[in-house]
């Protein structure tokens, strides 16, 4: 008798669990369609970040704009409080950017305007860059590519 009661109670528990957790196929397909629609809307809202590098020509703190010369064209970009501005690794305010500095700007197009998300300036000079390469592979590549006409490399 106890075994029957135990067996019946287990069956009832499983049945209640099935009803509580189970979904009808119609509801799950509706959820899948709604999820697919949300994904397509999110993909349309995806913002593309663009880059440009050039010389800083002007900074206007009143209108919150920076003008950068990029490929013989002056590009005006807006900035806001969320714009990250760094000189080397130090965070600074946009008004602290020196005119004439070479800057790399990450920006988005928003309502027909370029809005800067990040302005990065490196003060590293050309003298530092002219040093010999520190990579073993770059050094060996310069010396191993000698011109040899008709010679077949031999394996020793």
Q: Hey, how many other C-beta atoms are within 10 angstroms of the C-beta on 138?
A: 10
> Tell me, what's the pLDDT at 45?
65
Any idea where the domains of the chain sit in the sequence? 50-121
Q: Please compute, for residue 59, the number of CA atoms within 13 A of its CA located in the half-sphere on the CB side.
A: 18
- Mean pLDDT of each 10-residue bin along the chain, 156 residues long: 84 77 56 61 70 92 92 91 89 89 91 90 62 46 48 55
Query: Whole-model pTM?
Result: 0.52
Say how far apart CA 91 and CA 87 lie, in whole Å. Answer: 7
Structure tokens at 46: 């995806």
> Tell me, what's the pLDDT at 153?
54
> Tell me, what's the pLDDT at 24?
55
> Tell me, what's the pLDDT at 32?
60
Dihedral-angle region of residue 60 (phi above 0 means left; psi in -120 to 50 means alpha; beta otherwise)? beta
> Tell me, what's the pLDDT at 90?
87
End-to-end CA separation in angstroms for the chain: 89
> Tell me, what's the pLDDT at 1?
79
CATH ID of 50-121, from 2.60.40.10, 2.40.50.320, 3.40.1190.20, 3.40.190.10: 2.40.50.320
32-33-35-39 Cα dihedral, nearest 10 degrees: 130
> Tell me, what's the pLDDT at 104?
92
> Tell me, what's the pLDDT at 14?
83
């Amino acid at each position: 008798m106890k075994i029957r009661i135990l067996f019946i109670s287990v069956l009832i528990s499983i049945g209640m669990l099935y009803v509580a957790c189970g979904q009808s196929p119609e509801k799950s397909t509706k959820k899948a369609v709604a999820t697919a629609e949300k994904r397509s809307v999110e993909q349309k809202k995806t913002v593309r970040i663009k880059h440009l590098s050039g010389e800083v020509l002007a900074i206007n703190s009143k209108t919150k704009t920076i003008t950068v010369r990029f490929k013989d064209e002056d590009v005006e970009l807006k900035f806001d409080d969320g714009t990250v501005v760094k000189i080397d690794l130090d965070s600074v305010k946009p008004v602290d950017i020196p005119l004439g500095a070479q800057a790399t700007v990450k920006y988005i197009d928003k309502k027909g305007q370029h809005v800067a998300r990040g302005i990065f300036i490196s003060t590293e000079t050309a003298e530092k860059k002219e040093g010999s390469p520190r990579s073993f592979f770059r050094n060996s590549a310069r010396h191993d590519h000698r011109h040899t006409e008709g010679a077949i490399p031999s394996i020793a």
